[in-house]
Copies of this chain bind each other. A is one copy, B any other.
Amino acid sequence: MPKRPSTRTPVIGVMGGSKAAPAVVAMAEELGARIARRGWVLLTGGRNQGVMAAASRGAKRAGGTVIGILPDTTAHRASPDLDFAILTGMGDARNLINVLSSDVVIACPGKMGTLSEIALALNHARPVILLGFEAGPLFDSYIRRSLLTSAASPADAITQTAAILGAT
């Protein structure tokens, strides 16, 4: 992972589907809240939908800071809980920015958009924690290198994130 200057707060990227079942929404909201309580910054894809919206809401209610990297040229579809709305106007090309800008990426259930983010993160040596995202055997070599791990719960994801941040 690229060295993070000590003057900046860790940024934790939470990725996941723009459509999410109630249980996933609850999990993402808890995850966002736990990130905020640790004093870390939450980064999401910024839209007012699914995992992005839930994590942002959780973090905001817990007093945290939220950055959204939007695919759009305007903020009309942004989550209301963003502190900072980065408007890229680049559609899914912004998926690369999401993961490059995160010190650790946590992947919640999602589909192809989320999978592209996991792949791009690993391609650029960003650590990824899977939280309910079933990745299959594709990623075996990354698991062996410890760049990719699985978490059993939001609390577990946070513990793993702290270990990664402490180790860098």
Binary interface profile of A, 43-56, with partner B (CB < 8 Å = 1, else 0)?
Answer: 00000000000000
**Could you say which interface size class chain A belongs to?**
35 or more
Q: How many copies are assembled? A: 4
Contact A87 B116 (CB under 8 A): no
Contact B116 A8 (CB under 8 A): no
Chain B contacts for A123, CB-based, 8 A = 92, 111-113, 116
Shortest CB–CB separation between residue A121 and chain B, in angstroms? 8
CA distance in complex: A159, B115 (Å): 28
Is A88 engaged at the interface, CB distance under 8 Å to the other chain?
A: yes
Of the residues B2, B5, B101, B124, contact of A92 by C-beta under 8 Å: B124
CA distance in complex: A100, B68 (Å): 13
Which of A116-150 touch B at CB < 8 Å? 116, 119-120, 122-124, 134-138, 142
Which of A1-36 touch B at CB < 8 Å? 2-5, 7-9, 11
